[in-house]
Structure 1
Amino acid sequence: MNPKVDDRVPVLIVGGSLVGLSASLFLGRLGVRHLLVEKHADTSHHPRGRGNNVRTMELYRVAGIEAAIREAASVLAANHGILQAPSLTGAEQEWLFREIDPGGRLARFSPSAWCLCSQNDLEPVLLRAARELGGDVRFSTELVSFEQDAEGVTALLRSRETGEERTVRAQYLVAADGPRSPARERLGIGQSGKGELFHNVSITFRAKRLAEAVGDRHFIACYLTNPEADGALLPVDNHEEWVFHAPWHPEHGEPLEAFTDERCVRHIRAAVGIPDLEVEVTGKAPWHAAERVADRYSAGRVFLAGDSAHEMSPTGAFGSNTGIQDAHNLAWKLAAVLCGWAGPELLESYGRERQPVARVTGERASARSAEHSHPGYAVVPGVGRQAGVLAVALGYRYPAGAVVGTDPAGPVVPEQFGANGEPGSRAPHQWLLRAGVKLSTLDLYEQAMVLLTGPEGGAWLDGARRAADRLAVPLDAYRIGTGAEDDLAPEPGADFTELHGVRPDGAVLVRPDGFVAWRSEGAAADPESAVATALRAVLKI
């Protein structure tokens, strides 16, 4: 006998942290009705996961919330760099890096910039935006169980406040339920990787006089290397609110209860080098650094995203950014399938694209922890500082998946970052003018497939529109040039064709997530047929 169904939604999201809330935001932007359930009573109250890289901020820019995030993050807007020192008061100080974007060269590649916004400040922004778009977000609600069949997923939910249980029927389930993911366990999906790396206890505290010792060294984090009291110090408000990550060794039998307030105060005083510092401990939270990637990113109609799919060392905030970008990759594909302009097989490309990115990024995160001598983790000799960070954050590629014309054996992360419009790579940023309004090429990508062509590519416009109409695929087509009939004008000195790797009569097809799906370096004898063939291959129709 089939159970009574209380709610029906196209997508059920389990987990309401950064990744789940981002998935809700992205689906809402695409008009996909969904329900998100989170077992905790509210968004995070603990300051953590603060580094939002440039790619993540690009996604939030297109989603319309970049300005709100920067406002929420304004208290730490002047903080830059990672400092390493035996104490704050000694003469020995070393900047592992002073500026995340020295010389401002990132502006050549992106309309956005890196942003320091703690999870407890970012999640409310995401929640507000998701709900404004119609997202049904329910806290204090846990997933009890789920079953799936060929048509959808039936999930049993329980209110942690009242104990009431409800059955939800969804076409797809997105499990963003953390590193101990019950959904992944229920699916029997294993993991591979180095496993546990190290453990820390995150201590939030107040110390008014600490700002005097820090002075004008407004760092993102300071690694304090006193062998008797090492740890990482992070500012919350640059004034009196701070976080300290202390090494914890449960593998040696050390219990969490050993971190009493008194011990934490002694440790912080010794680490910063101020024996009489007044410290008020306001909270403690254990966390575990690991390097693991799920063996599969989906099973049937259930998809893993964020920490349920991959765990990474926190150094560099690669894990949260990778998870948010998982959600963005999956959202447009779910929307395309649910709206009928892509085949269900498109969803298989989610894991094919995102799993290799997680593997490479997880390796880089572990190396970065060693490079920075993160408390509790061993140093690996010969790791170059800042090596390939931009390539990891902005230059990763999809050698295989919903793309045409890639090298399946090509690297997921190149040695050096370069934006050249190759299929499988993030489409290059270029400033444009449309009716006198300045916008980035990246602002064009969200709701539909987009075809861009150069000043001599007029034939592509009509051909692409005919192909899209015939296949019932939403597609926007633009010609970039300085002529009166061109749709978009490049900024003076900018060359669309050079940046995108095509001739003036070539074309580039870009997916809604801003990744190049296909390109033609020059004209085609039959543009309509060429675009139709590419759309069929990419969208599995």
Structure 2
Amino acid sequence: MNAKIDERVPVLIAGGSLVGLSASLFLGRLGIAHTLVEKHPGTSRHPRGRGNNVRTMELFRTAGIEPRIQVAASVLADNHGILQAETLTGTEQEWLFKEVDPGGRLSRFSPTSWCLCSQNDLEPVLLDCARELGGDLRYGTELRSFEQDADGVTAVIGRRGTDERRTVRAQYLIAADGPRSPVRERLGIAQMGRGDLFHNVSVTFRAKRLADAVGDRRFIACYLRNPEADGTLLPVDNREQWVFHIPWHPEHGEELASFTDERCAEHIRKATGVPDMEVEITGKAPWHAAERVASSYGTGRVFLAGDAAHEMSPTGAFGSNTGIQDAHNLAWKLAAVLGGWAGPALLETYGAERQPVARATSERASARSSEHRHPGYAAAPTTGPQRGVLATALGYRYHRGAVVGTDPDSAVVPDELELTGAPGSRAPHLWLRRDGVRLSSLDLYERSLVLLSGAHGGRWYEAGRRVGERLGLPLECHRVGPGLDLVPEPDADWAQAHGTSPDGAVLVRPDGFVAWRATSTAADPVTTLIKVLESVLRRA
């Protein structure tokens, strides 16, 4: 492509939905200039993708936007659990689960929690925050073509519906362009998995009387199993705005055009058990539940993220969360390479870490849909009741990549949540005080590597300070203990929580994952740290 270059930018993002916007936010937080193009004229207007799991909320907390998201999510703040019923007015009702965090167990593992915020409410928050950080976000603009070489990517973009053509030269391209990703197809990357699972038409509607039938049942979703009209009911404001997912069977020749307003309204009346309810249809959008994972997460300087890399069944709300966490993993690595403190090969660890997580998570999501008998999904459960939803959301592990000393025999997604400071896992959460201010240990991780050592870890602390200067990389060093710069709250044992000893150390990456752990001191801590850092950052 020998064209005149109109613009130059370090990173170009294709796709401005949840994952693309999150990539922009995370890059902006790290000071990386970027341009985002999205073919649609604005953020999503359809209420979907509402479940933001605890790991995603940790990332938004670190990025400083958790309070703004909680404001956007305030309408559904009291909604919990999934109800299964024949109709809303019948007697056959069962809570598949009633509380997301029964007993408050989650507070032991995280400073935050799950958040129910629909995509149409969350995306504007991400957009505003990304622009405040200097992101160049262009809606109504599409990626028309691209070519890459050893030094970068040359892309052609233009306003949708016009003949405009602008040539952008970027060092890297992030493709967050959805499940039918043109970028993935252009790269020729195949997909693995079971393929399509089931199909729905998502219908938004107003019905003032429906709140009376729902009563005080503040659910996240209600699976209605009326044999004549099944589907999933979701509240938008708990009063008169709702969403209903009607099963759609294109495999049986059912056409999308057959879902008229009249048919949808009558289906909702039958499913809910309120036959004379006035229903005003305000929107319709088809969606497809699938289990697919890309065989590769990129080629050269082009990387896939979100639905472009993986599709998952909606049960458990794993799909968009996995995509947001893709973006977070990739952002710090791009910042490290562009900042000159990591080798280009660090970017190869993105797919090595994220693809196994997506494969394991997508399998869990499909199994959970089967177990819950999600309307429209006919597959019978092949395993027992699904455990470890929290472990899936928070406890996944990286066996290979930018990590040293991992256990390759451990499960990528364990059945039970264990956060013990093992390399490749998310670092443990502890409440600390620094200069009298309370913070979570997770609040330390964003812009640099962090080396933590305990009361007897002075040699590691001094070695870390020397090595950071010698290698020219951002490495914050902290000592944790009474009278030190980070003071744990009473009854908190830093070394025990991190699986080390008072004279050991833990190296944590900017994304909050443990890169390496020493259970005791070393004869030559400087040499040891240099070897570890050169391996983790692919500097050799």
TM-score range relative to shorter protein: over 0.9
Task: Give the match for residue 172 of structure 1.
Answer: 172
Question: What's the CA shift for 1:414?
Answer: 1.3
Output the CA distance in 2 between the equivalents of 1:223 and 1:163.
46
Aligned 8 A contact 1:367 1:380 in 2: no
Is the partner of 1:387 in helix, strand or coil?
Answer: coil
| Superposition RMSD in Å | 0.9
Output the CA distance in 2 between the equivalents of 1:250 and 1:411.
37
Question: What's the CA shift for 1:381?
Answer: 3.2
Output the CA distance in 2 between the equivalents of 1:464 and 1:163.
55
Task: Give the match for residue 361 of structure 1.
Answer: 361
Is the partner of 1:225 in helix, strand or coil?
Answer: strand
Question: What's the CA shift for 1:233?
Answer: 0.1
Question: What's the CA shift string for 1:249-272, capped at 9, x where partnerless?
Answer: 011111100000010011000000
Task: Give the match for residue 454 of structure 2.
Answer: 454
Question: What's the CA shift string for 1:414-441, capped at 9, x where partnerless?
Answer: 1211110000000000000001100000
Output the CA distance in 2 between the equivalents of 1:380 and 1:110.
34
Output the CA distance in 2 between the equivalents of 1:85 and 1:221.
11
Question: What's the CA shift string for 1:428-457, capped at 9, x where partnerless?
Answer: 000000011000000000000000011110
Question: What's the CA shift string for 1:312-335, capped at 9, x where partnerless?
Answer: 001111000000000000000000
Question: What's the CA shift for 1:386?
Answer: 4.9
Question: What's the CA shift string for 1:452-490, capped at 9, x where partnerless?
Answer: 01111011111011111111110000000102xx11000
Is the partner of 1:2 in helix, strand or coil?
Answer: coil
Output the CA distance in 2 between the equivalents of 1:44 and 1:385.
34
TM-score by length of 2: 0.99
Counterpart check, 1:434 vs 2:409: no
Task: Give the match for residue 503 of structure 2.
Answer: 505
Question: What's the CA shift for 1:235?
Answer: 0.1
Question: What's the CA shift for 1:529?
Answer: 1.1
Aligned 8 A contact 2:432 2:488 in 1: yes
Question: What's the CA shift for 1:382?
Answer: 5.7
Is the partner of 2:36 in helix, strand or coil?
Answer: strand
Task: Give the match for residue 156 of structure 2.
Answer: 156
Task: Give the match for residue 320 of structure 2.
Answer: 320
Task: Give the match for residue 64 of structure 2.
Answer: 64
Task: Give the match for residue 34 of structure 2.
Answer: 34
Aligned 8 A contact 1:464 1:532 in 2: no
Q: Higher mean Cα deviation, 125-134 or 386-395?
A: 386-395
Output the CA distance in 2 between the equivalents of 1:185 and 1:381.
33
Is the partner of 1:504 in helix, strand or coil?
Answer: coil
Output the CA distance in 2 between the equivalents of 1:154 and 1:394.
37
Output the CA distance in 1 between the equivalents of 2:481 and 2:187.
51
Question: What's the CA shift for 1:410?
Answer: 2.6
Letter of the aligned partner of 1:527 in structure 2? P
Letter of the aligned partner of 2:512 in structure 1? G
Task: Give the match for residue 528 of structure 1.
Answer: 526
Task: Give the match for residue 398 of structure 2.
Answer: 398
Letter of the aligned partner of 1:187 in structure 2? L
Task: Give the match for residue 517 of structure 1.
Answer: 515
Q: How does 1:457-468 map to 2 (within 5 A)?
A: 457-468=457-468
Output the CA distance in 1 between the equivalents of 2:385 and 2:177.
33
Task: Give the match for residue 47 of structure 1.
Answer: 47
Aligned 8 A contact 2:399 2:412 in 1: yes
Letter of the aligned partner of 1:84 in structure 2? Q
Question: What's the CA shift string for 1:114-151, capped at 9, x where partnerless?
Answer: 00000000000000000000000000000110000000
Aligned 8 A contact 1:86 1:226 in 2: yes
Output the CA distance in 2 between the equivalents of 1:383 and 1:244.
28
Task: Give the match for residue 200 of structure 1.
Answer: 200
TM-score by length of 1: 0.99
Is the partner of 2:439 in helix, strand or coil?
Answer: strand
Task: Give the match for residue 245 of structure 1.
Answer: 245
Aligned 8 A contact 1:13 1:36 in 2: yes
Letter of the aligned partner of 1:524 in structure 2? A
Task: Give the match for residue 343 of structure 1.
Answer: 343
Is the partner of 1:285 in helix, strand or coil?
Answer: strand
Output the CA distance in 2 between the equivalents of 1:161 and 1:502.
59
Share of identical aligned residues, percent? 73
Q: How does 1:286-305 map to 2 (within 5 A)?
A: 286-305=286-305
Question: What's the CA shift string for 1:167-220, capped at 9, x where partnerless?
Answer: 000000000000000000000000010001000000000000000110000000
Q: How does 1:189-338 map to 2 (within 5 A)?
A: 189-338=189-338
Output the CA distance in 1 between the equivalents of 2:119 and 2:226.
28
Is the partner of 2:419 in helix, strand or coil?
Answer: coil
Is the partner of 1:327 in helix, strand or coil?
Answer: helix
Is the partner of 2:284 in helix, strand or coil?
Answer: strand
Task: Give the match for residue 90 of structure 2.
Answer: 90
Is the partner of 1:230 in helix, strand or coil?
Answer: strand
Output the CA distance in 2 between the equivalents of 1:470 and 1:20.
35
Letter of the aligned partner of 1:306 in structure 2? G
Letter of the aligned partner of 2:196 in structure 1? E
Output the CA distance in 2 between the equivalents of 1:522 and 1:129.
42
Output the CA distance in 2 between the equivalents of 1:162 and 1:133.
29
Task: Give the match for residue 539 of structure 1.
Answer: 537
Question: What's the CA shift for 1:371?
Answer: 1.3
Counterpart check, 1:389 vs 2:411: no
Is the partner of 1:433 in helix, strand or coil?
Answer: strand
Question: What's the CA shift for 1:165?
Answer: 1.1
Output the CA distance in 1 between the equivalents of 2:382 and 2:79.
28
Question: What's the CA shift for 1:380?
Answer: 2.5
Letter of the aligned partner of 1:135 in structure 2? G
